[in-house]
Amino acid sequence: MSNPSNNQPPRPPYTGETLVMRRVEHKSARQGPPSPPQATPPRRAIPKRRWPLGWIALGIVAIVALALGFGYWQIHRLAQRIVVADPRGPVITSPLLGANILVVGVDIRRDRPEEGIRSDTLMLVRLDGMGGWANLLSIPRDTQVDLPNRGPSKINAAYAYGYYHATELYGDGISPEQGGMAFAADTVSQFLNFEQRGMRVDYMVQIDFDGFAALIDALGGITIDVPRRIVDDAYPTPDYGVMRVVFEPGPQRMDGARALIYARTRHADNDFGRTERQQQVVQAIVNEIQQHNWFERMLLLPRLLDAVTQTGDTPAILTTLPLANFDTLLAMGRLAANLDPALIGRYRIEPGTVAVRENDTNLIWDASDVAALVNRWLTPPGEASEQARVQVLNGAGVVGLARRTSEELSANGFTVLAPADAPPGDYPRTVVYQAGNAPFTARRLAQLLGAEVVVGKPAEVYSEAEIVVILGRDRTP
């Protein structure tokens, strides 16, 4: 029955036939298949800001200019404190083209002026900035010369004479230090007959013991390869006493105080051994400077200034070398860049090199031998100028080995002395001992033999040769 209360029409009865329903399309179907999701467009990269090459170059130039300006300012400050005028007059030559520089090591007790003053070291430096080389020549302090109003005297008295007669010798306004340096330079020039060569000592450097030690401390110390054991039981102390000092052989780091003792000790051998050590210390100082880059060298300048001016009114180092001049700076720069410390020529006036006779404790050197040595000192370093003699010692125990090696070296242009046997001992490897001033010859010889170079004389060996070769077992067939 129908529900009279229902307003909807009655449904027709089901007949079992399939009714086709009207298809109702979905709205999305009418619009077609869904579009694939759109990829998010990449964000636009912001280009990095690039500095123009011109600006980069300008920045580099500015940094270099600032560094050079700082370095020059420091050098100028140093020069204002330690550079003094030469009372002998202007210098014509330049360290860039070649100059003779006298280094005077003075023993002065500023707290005890009554003790006087002495020059314990006289060392000439032949410096050639353009050539990039330097040679040293040491003059023994007991060398006899003629001094005004004193006659025959030791050459180390020349500084003291000029020191105490500065105004008398060079005029008013000349300080004792200027007079001492100038008269020492004149005396050395006369002794070496520089006038006949058309030259003189061009510049002077004075350094006292305190300045020497302070300079090395400013560098942070130096490394010295001590060639043999040194024992000095009577090394002088500042209070006029003595003490015992010992140096064991081998490389060792030394501060200023220790290096000063090494350079001054002489009782273990003699004054000639001392001059050898002094040259070794100079070589070590140059080597230490070479270990620093240019920036580090500039930072050393303030420390150097403090070191040489800490002794009061008179700096510990004085010089007539115009440090702030362009030619001097260029010469020093070329040497710092090109000079190999191991190839610094080291010459000494000493027996064995120069004939000598004695007048009491004074040493009178043969003038012709001195002139020949000066010729070598003035010559750029090289194997030809060294004129080194080589002696071969047989340490391998093979009969005839030293003779055959000597013949081989002679065929290669070396000057060879008669071979001999090495002192008893074990020699596993061949060693080239550079006993004299012959670094170029020693290097070529070591390359030829495949050996190492040791600077110094071998123990328990007496030889007149500048280079001694001890053949080891590595040379046996």
Average pLDDT over residues 182-188: 95
Average pLDDT over residues 380-393: 88
Assign domain 384-475 one CATH number from 3.30.70.2390, 3.30.2130.10, 3.30.1490.20, 3.90.1150.10.
Answer: 3.30.70.2390
Average pLDDT over residues 364-379: 94
pLDDT digits (tens, 9 = 90+) for 134-162: 999 999 999 999 987 788 999 999 999 99
* Backbone dihedral region for residue 149 (phi beyond 0: left; psi -120 to 50: alpha; all else: beta): left
Percent of the chain topping pLDDT 90: 48
pLDDT digits (tens, 9 = 90+) for 324-343: 888 888 888 888 888 888 88
Average pLDDT over residues 12-25: 52
Q: What is the pLDDT of residue 435?
A: 87
Cα dihedral sign for 145, 151, 152, 157? negative
Given a cut of 60, is residue 34 above it in pLDDT? no
Would you list the domain boundaries of the chain? 70-381, 384-475
Q: Read out DSSP for 36-78?
A: PPPPPPPPPPPPPP---HHHHHHHHHHHHHHHHHHHHHHHHHH
pLDDT band at 465 (very low <50, low <70, confident <90, very high): very high
User: Nearest 5 degrees, angle CA 378-CA 380-CA 385?
Assistant: 85
Which is more confidently placed, 267 or 65?
Answer: 267
| Fold matches, 70-381 and 384-475 | no
Percent of the chain topping pLDDT 70: 83
Average pLDDT over residues 120-130: 92
CB 280 within 8 A of CB 223: no
**Scanning the structure block, which residue is given the tokens 């300079």?**
215
Which range of 186-195, 210-219, 295-304, 351-360 scores highest in mean pLDDT? It is: 186-195
Q: What is the pLDDT of residue 28?
A: 47
195: Cβ contacts below 8 Å, ≥ 6 apart: 189
CB 104 within 8 A of CB 159: yes
Which is more confidently placed, 2 or 389?
Answer: 389
Given a cut of 80, is residue 410 above it in pLDDT? yes
* Least confident stretch, 215-219, 292-296, 421-425: 292-296
CATH topology for the 70-381 domain: Aminopeptidase (3.40.630)
Q: What is the pLDDT of residue 352?
A: 81
236: Cβ contacts below 8 Å, ≥ 6 apart: 242
Q: What is the pLDDT of residue 29?
A: 47
pLDDT digits (tens, 9 = 90+) for 164-178: 999 999 999 999 999
> Is the pTM here over 0.85, yes or no?
no
Given a cut of 70, is residue 473 above it in pLDDT? yes
Which range of 9-18, 127-136, 230-239, 263-272 scores highest in mean pLDDT? It is: 127-136
